């Protein structure tokens, strides 16, 4: 279809009062050769919108440039399905933020030009649609995994559940009783009911269970994963749509607590897991290991390893409640038995407080804040010393028949991730170090065995203790491997009820991902986007930058380093486009050429005292901040021209070279905060922009320009007040450096 651009300029919101819209219309018609140009008093009014619709119907306009307000407002009014739509925020960027009228006019002319360029270069994307399989793979057959499988099946989806043990159930198998999910008025010990859950799973015709099985390899992409399952020495490869990892946790190794709490030294010091097994074995009767004598006093030590930098620096979130439950194993039906819990802080958040309260009111259960400083054996008793307790300032000694260490949970992902981190560190030192590492380090069992160029497992969370990366507060389920969702304690420590809830949400996300790829739509955060990266591989030099940098591991490569793009793994941030030195990666509606041409279209005043600055900003955070600055009528230096990007990660260094060699005096990059507490919705985008910027010096040297002409700032969406400060600071620097010598060339 032939492209026909229509430019619609709005005079409302004061635009018409200060901007000569007729002049802009004439520039568009004559210089920019826009075939259809109209000016409206209030474009978002019915008449305005109808005018555009009429042009679409009667004149065949299919690329629409709306010069008025920001794309963040009046979205419904200016939605024209099937057309390419570009919104030019004249109101915010020209009228509200610039002081002088002549500068407002120049800015408006520039921004309209940029919008027209975008419309000239952009196409409406055609979605990437392949034949897909809608089966959901759940890895791990514990409570979380089984819940996810059942929920997905209930929603009408086929499920494959893979469990490495011979039977389903995971840790719940070891439980004697569980904490009721909500209501404690009917008792504080609930049946686990594991058999009925397992039965529900195994009898569900939509769920296929593989026990004693492991994932040997996962290739492909959402909607089209090839999953190889190994069972009894043979393998089977099946098609899968989306994946849920519910591989759970392991107890912390109690042998590491020998010195501190006498585990292994005293037979009657057991872990909470062993205590659970004892209760189950004797059906609720607590017999201690040393002499199988039924005990009447048990002391629980909370945070046995947790909240301790030498062991587990985090809190395991479930151990307080577990001990409150296990204390009842001791006291239930034994009026003369006692259970003492020594804790640092009793952590029963939310409605779990009621569970704590029930325990406080239970005769025989005693709860005290304190710090255990030692354990020793005397005859057949254990003596526990406690300080800083509510028993008083002095150290006290408590006699007990048995001690339970409330140890914590370690995610099953920790071992593989530790190994992979070590491997990456060794590899960074060279091939020799890498070989040495592989030789001398015991390779742990991997879980997902992804055949991805970026590694076999879900990426870890920086400083996250072996939990997988899902560090979004707002978007808990987003991992950095599209279509693969981590749930339960591989994400963060949690109790069984929380893990079941977690499973339900992940089941939805897996279904959603499948339905999106079926229609060729991206998943979060651009869950509307039908564009996808289209590399022109004939020009690829196999430099591997795109395959290495993609925050989502969407690109694999062959032995020669030639990339294979897996569009359904892609989140459409454009990092590959920014990374490519050959400029061969583009999206239909977003490309190096498009943004590069826009940058080249920005006017550069020839006078030395009138600098021109281009600000590249992330559309999710920096741009809304700029817009809020505008709404507050904060004034900005008229030298700046803002260009929005999907993510700063898509910034290509060629733009900087192009713009600066045309005489632009400086380039400012505004992106999200990165690092451990990253805010970038693409996890690594802004960080990669910064990394790439580290190499800009070469470009600047070639042009014999000063390094300070290009700078990056991290800015959050609510920091609108910083926008003028940042720009002023940058402008001061630019004025200090002086005009770009390329000006006027």
Partner 1 sequence: MHHNGSSRILVIGGGFSGLTAAVEAAETGSEVIIVERNPYLGGRVAQLNKYFPKICPPLCGLEINYRRIKVNPQVKFYTMAQVESISGAPGDYNVKIKINPRYVNENCTACNACAEVCPAERDNDFNFGLNKTKAIYLPFEQSFPLIYVIDRQACPKDCPAPCVEACKYNAIDLNMQSKTVEVKVDSIVVATGWKPYDAAKIENLGFGKVKNVITNMMFERLASKNGPTGGQILRPSDGKPVEKIAFVQCAGSRDENHLPFCSYICCLASLKHILYLKEQNPDAEAYIYYIDIRTPGRYEKFFNQVKDQGGVNLIKGKVAAIEQDSESDDVIVTVEDMINMQKIKQKVDMVVLATGMQPEGLEFKVPGIQYAIEGFVIDSDGIYAAGCAKSPMDVAGCGKDSTGAALKAIQIGIRR
Q: Evaluate the omega torsion of the peptide bond into residue 719 and state whether it is cis, within 30 degrees of 0.
A: no
53 binds partner 1 (CB under 8 A): no
720 binds partner 1 (CB under 8 A): yes
Looking at the Cβ atoms of 187 and 463, the one nearer to partner 1 is 463
347 binds partner 1 (CB under 8 A): yes
Cβ-based neighbours of 466, under 8 Å, separated by 6 or more = 410, 411, 413, 414, 415, 417, 418, 460
We find the least distance from the C-beta atom of residue 476 to partner 1, in angstroms, to be 5
151 binds partner 1 (CB under 8 A): yes
Piece of 115-123, 463-471, 590-598, 638-646 that binds partner 1 (CB under 8 A): 463-471
Helices 431-440 and 414-428 cross at an angle (nearest 10°) of: 150
Among 87, 113, 325, 681, binds partner 1 (CB under 8 A): 681
Tell me the pairing of strands 666-671 and 710-714: parallel
Residue keyed to tokens 């569900």: 204
Piece of 132-140, 276-284, 422-430, 677-685 that binds partner 1 (CB under 8 A): 677-685
Looking at the Cβ atoms of 348 and 661, the one nearer to partner 1 is 348
We find the least distance from the C-beta atom of residue 238 to partner 1, in angstroms, to be 24
741 binds partner 1 (CB under 8 A): no
CA Rg, the chain, in Å? 31
575/470 Cα distance (integer angstroms): 19
We find the least distance from the C-beta atom of residue 191 to partner 1, in angstroms, to be 21
Could you tell me the end-to-end alpha-carbon distance of the chain, in angstroms, rounded to an integer? 38
Strand order in the sheet with 534-535: 534-535, 585-587, 590-591
507 binds partner 1 (CB under 8 A): yes
Binding mask 210-239 for partner 1 (x = CB under 8 A): ------------------------------
Among 18, 42, 238, 366, binds partner 1 (CB under 8 A): 42
* Residues 315-334 close enough to bind partner 1 by CB under 8 A: 315-317
Binding mask 468-487 for partner 1 (x = CB under 8 A): ---xxxxxxx----------
686/143 Cα distance (integer angstroms): 38
Among 351, 376, 635, 695, binds partner 1 (CB under 8 A): 351
The burial class, CB within 10 Å (0-12 / 13-18 / 19+), for 631 is: middle
The burial class, CB within 10 Å (0-12 / 13-18 / 19+), for 333 is: exposed
We find the least distance from the C-beta atom of residue 97 to partner 1, in angstroms, to be 14
We find the least distance from the C-beta atom of residue 223 to partner 1, in angstroms, to be 15
369 binds partner 1 (CB under 8 A): yes
Buried b (16+ CB within 10 A) or exposed e, 701-726: eebebeeebbbbbbbebebbebbbeb
525 binds partner 1 (CB under 8 A): yes
In degrees and rounded to multiples of 5, residue 727 shows phi and psi of: -65, -40
Among 31, 285, 390, 537, binds partner 1 (CB under 8 A): 390
Among 156, 205, 335, 694, binds partner 1 (CB under 8 A): 156
We find the least distance from the C-beta atom of residue 272 to partner 1, in angstroms, to be 16
DSSP states along 620-654: TTHHHHHHHHHHTT----TTEEEEEES-GGG--HH
Judge contact between 730 and 715, C-beta under 8 A.
no
Largest Cα span, the chain: 102
Judge contact between 639 and 610, C-beta under 8 A.
yes
Q: How many positions of this chain bind partner 1 (CB under 8 A)? A: 90
We find the least distance from the C-beta atom of residue 218 to partner 1, in angstroms, to be 23
Among 133, 155, 290, 661, binds partner 1 (CB under 8 A): 155
Residue 88 is encoded by which pair of tokens? 């030019």
735/714 Cα distance (integer angstroms): 22
We find the least distance from the C-beta atom of residue 222 to partner 1, in angstroms, to be 14
Piece of 202-210, 438-446, 498-506, 596-604 that binds partner 1 (CB under 8 A): 498-506
Residue 666 is encoded by which pair of tokens? 């400086």
274/407 Cα distance (integer angstroms): 10
Looking at the Cβ atoms of 488 and 611, the one nearer to partner 1 is 488
330/138 Cα distance (integer angstroms): 37
313 binds partner 1 (CB under 8 A): yes
Binding mask 114-133 for partner 1 (x = CB under 8 A): --------------------
Judge contact between 68 and 88, C-beta under 8 A.
yes
515 binds partner 1 (CB under 8 A): yes
* Residues 412-451 close enough to bind partner 1 by CB under 8 A: none
Piece of 7-15, 222-230, 607-615, 656-664 that binds partner 1 (CB under 8 A): 7-15
600 binds partner 1 (CB under 8 A): no
Piece of 101-109, 225-233, 452-460, 718-726 that binds partner 1 (CB under 8 A): 718-726
Among 310, 350, 440, 736, binds partner 1 (CB under 8 A): 350
209/229 Cα distance (integer angstroms): 11
Residue keyed to tokens 């006027």: 744
Looking at the Cβ atoms of 388 and 582, the one nearer to partner 1 is 388
* Residues 626-655 close enough to bind partner 1 by CB under 8 A: 628, 631-632
Residue keyed to tokens 């109101």: 91
Closest CA to 507 of 140, 153, 141, 206: 153
Looking at the Cβ atoms of 393 and 431, the one nearer to partner 1 is 393
45 binds partner 1 (CB under 8 A): yes
Q: Across the strands, what pairs with 223?
A: none
Among 21, 105, 482, 492, binds partner 1 (CB under 8 A): 492
346 binds partner 1 (CB under 8 A): yes
We find the least distance from the C-beta atom of residue 676 to partner 1, in angstroms, to be 9
397 binds partner 1 (CB under 8 A): no
């Amino acid at each position: 279809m032939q492209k026909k651009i229509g430019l619609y300029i709005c005079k409302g919101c004061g635009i018409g009062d200060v901007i000569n819209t007729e002049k802009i219309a004439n520039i568009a018609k004559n210089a920019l050769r826009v075939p259809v140009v109209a000016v409206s008093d209030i474009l978002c009014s019915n008449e305005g919108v109808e005018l555009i619709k009429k042009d679409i119907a009667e004149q065949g306009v299919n690329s629409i440039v709306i010069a008025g307000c920001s794309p963040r407002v009046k979205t419904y009014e200016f939605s024209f399905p099937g057309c390419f739509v570009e919104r030019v925020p004249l109101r915010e960027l020209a009228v509200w933020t610039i002081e002088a009228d002549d500068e407002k006019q120049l800015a408006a002319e520039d921004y309209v030009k940029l919008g027209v360029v975008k419309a000239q270069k952009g196409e409406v994307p055609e979605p990437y649609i392949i034949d897909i399989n809608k089966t959901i793979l759940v890895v791990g057959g514990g409570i979380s995994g089984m819940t996810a499988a059942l929920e997905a099946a209930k929603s009408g989806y086929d499920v494959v559940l893979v469990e490495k043990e011979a039977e389903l159930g995971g840790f719940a198998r070891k439980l004697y009783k569980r904490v009721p999910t909500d209501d404690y008025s009917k008792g504080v010990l609930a049946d686990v009911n594991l058999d009925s859950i397992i039965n529900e799973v195994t009898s569900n015709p939509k769920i296929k269970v593989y026990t004693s099985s492991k994932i040997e390899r996962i290739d492909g992409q959402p909607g089209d994963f090839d999953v190889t399952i190994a069972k009894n020495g043979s393998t089977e490869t099946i098609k899968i749509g989306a994946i849920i990892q519910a591989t759970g946790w392991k107890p912390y190794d109690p042998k590491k607590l020998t010195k501190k709490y006498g585990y292994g030294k005293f037979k009657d010091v057991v872990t909470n897991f062993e205590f659970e097994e004892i209760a189950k074995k004797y059906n609720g009767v607590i017999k201690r290991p040393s002499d199988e004598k039924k005990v009447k006093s048990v002391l629980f030590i909370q945070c046995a390893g947790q909240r301790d930098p030498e062991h587990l620096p985090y809190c395991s979130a479930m151990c307080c409640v577990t001990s409150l439950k296990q204390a009842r194993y001791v006291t239930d039906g034994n009026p003369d038995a006692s259970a003492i819990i020594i804790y640092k802080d009793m952590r029963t958040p939310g409605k779990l407080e009621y569970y704590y309260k029930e325990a406080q009111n239970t005769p025989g259960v005693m709860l005290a804040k304190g710090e255990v400083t030692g354990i020793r054996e005397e005859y057949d008793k254990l003596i526990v010393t406690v300080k800083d307790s509510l028993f008083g300032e002095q150290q006290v000694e408590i006699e007990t028949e048995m001690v339970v260490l409330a140890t914590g949970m370690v995610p099953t992902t920790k071992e593989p991730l530790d190994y992979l981190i070590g491997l990456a560190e060794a590899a960074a030192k060279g091939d020799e170090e890498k070989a040495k590492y592989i030789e001398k380090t015991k390779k742990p069992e991997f879980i997902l065995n992804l055949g991805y160029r970026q590694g076999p497992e879900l990426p870890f969370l920086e400083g996250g203790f072996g939990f997988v990366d899902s560090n979004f507060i707002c978007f808990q389920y987003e991992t950095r491997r599209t279509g693969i969702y981590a749930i339960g304690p591989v994400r963060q420590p949690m109790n069984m009820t929380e893990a079941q809830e977690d499973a339900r949400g992940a089941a939805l996300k897996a279904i959603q991902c499948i339905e999106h790829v079926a229609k060729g739509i991206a998943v979060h955060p651009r869950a509307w986007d039908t564009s996808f990266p289209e590399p022109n591989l004939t020009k690829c030099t196999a430099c591997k930058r795109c395959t290495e940098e993609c925050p989502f591991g969407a690109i694999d490569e062959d032995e020669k380093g030639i990339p294979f793009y897996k569009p359904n793994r892609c989140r459409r941030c454009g990092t590959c486009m920014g990374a490519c030195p050959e400029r061969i990666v583009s999206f239909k509606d977003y490309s190096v050429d498009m943004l590069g041409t826009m940058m080249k279209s920005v006017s550069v005043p020839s006078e030395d005292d009138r600098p021109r600055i281009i600000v590249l900003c992330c559309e999710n955070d920096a741009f809304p901040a700029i817009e809020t600055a505008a709404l507050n009528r904060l004034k900005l230096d008229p030298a700046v021209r803002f260009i929005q990007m999907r993510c700063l990660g898509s910034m290509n260094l060629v733009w900087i070279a192009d713009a600066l060699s045309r005489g632009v005096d400086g380039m400012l990059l505004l992106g999200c905060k990165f690092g451990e507490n990253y805010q970038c919705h693409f996890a690594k985008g802004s960080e990669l922009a910064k990394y790439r910027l580290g190499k800009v010096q070469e470009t600047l040297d070639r042009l014999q320009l000063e390094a300070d002409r290009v700078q990056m700032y991290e800015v959050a969406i609510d920091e609108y007040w910083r926008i003028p400060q940042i720009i002023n600071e940058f402008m001061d620097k630019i004025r200090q450096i002086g005009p770009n010598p390329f000006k006027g060339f």
